[in-house]
Amino acid sequence: MEIEPGTRSETTMNTTSSLPVVLASTSPFRKELLQRLGITFTTAAPDVDESPLADETPEALVRRLAKAKARAIGQSCQGLIIGSDQVATTGSDILGKPGTHVHATEQLRALSGRLVTFHTGLCLLNSMTGEAQVDVIPFKVQFRQLDEGQIERYLQADQPYNCAGSFKSEGQGITLFERMDGDDPSALIGLPLIRLTTMLARAGLVLP
């Protein structure tokens, strides 16, 4: 985990538990995940260009965007700002959101029997001090061999057209997997709660 020191104080450890928490995302999936921690928080939509830079690796991309989202909200909100970004890759290809049934069908055909790695960037910014804790959490999924009937039935059930990889692991998408490999299953959905809990504790908000 990378810690970027703030410019307005030496440290935030165990001193900021009363600061408000803001999730720099309006994603319903991330909001639902954060609610599991039992903390009070608000949400805000960051205005950030998510286009990758030339020759930028997936890990560098999600790290940069997680920080950018947190800092964008931190300009107008005081507190502990949570930024997160995720990309899925298979081989050297970055998987986007399919958008349509046709594209989702094509994507799942291509993923059949393959290993997919999800890279989730996470940033916890104390906007009062400028200190940022940043990390990238990987999670791997091995897809089953899928036939046309399985793909069609799944897409009709979950309609995951706004999800990278064309599946919702919190829904029936779990049936598409042969195995999963990673330290934090919540990272697969887009907000690594185990790592976030560690970051919050360092910032003074100890859970539960």
In a domain, 208, yes or no: no
d(C-alpha 135, C-alpha 64), whole Å:
10
Closest to 43 measured CA to CA, from 56, 55, 54, 30: 30
d(C-alpha 30, C-alpha 35), whole Å:
9
Q: Given pLDDT bands bounded at 50, 70 and 90, which one contains residue 18?
A: confident
In a domain, 124, yes or no: yes
Contact 142, 1 (CB under 8 A): no
Residue 162 vs residue 38, higher pLDDT? 38
In a domain, 91, yes or no: yes
User: What's the confidence (pLDDT) of residue 172?
Assistant: 94
d(C-alpha 55, C-alpha 193), whole Å:
29
In a domain, 207, yes or no: no
Model's pTM, two decimal places?
A: 0.88
Helix, strand, coil tally for the chain in percent (to 5): 30, 25, 45
- Residue 14 pLDDT exceeds 50: no
State the catalytic residue, choosing from 47, 55, 85, 184: 85
**Domain residues for 8?**
2-202
For the stretch 114-164, pLDDT in tens is 999 999 999 999 999 999 999 999 999 999 999 999 999 999 999 999 888
CATH code for the domain of 107: 3.90.950.10
In a domain, 150, yes or no: yes
Residues 6+ apart with CB under 8 A from 53: 60, 61, 64
For the stretch 48-82, pLDDT in tens is 999 999 999 999 999 999 999 999 999 999 999 99
User: What's the confidence (pLDDT) of residue 7?
Assistant: 67
d(C-alpha 40, C-alpha 138), whole Å:
27
Q: How many domains does the chain have?
A: 1
In a domain, 183, yes or no: yes
In a domain, 182, yes or no: yes
Q: Which residue has 């934090």 as its token pair?
A: 184
In a domain, 163, yes or no: yes
User: What's the confidence (pLDDT) of residue 11?
Assistant: 46
55 is catalytic: no
Q: Which two tokens stand for residue 118?
A: 């999800």
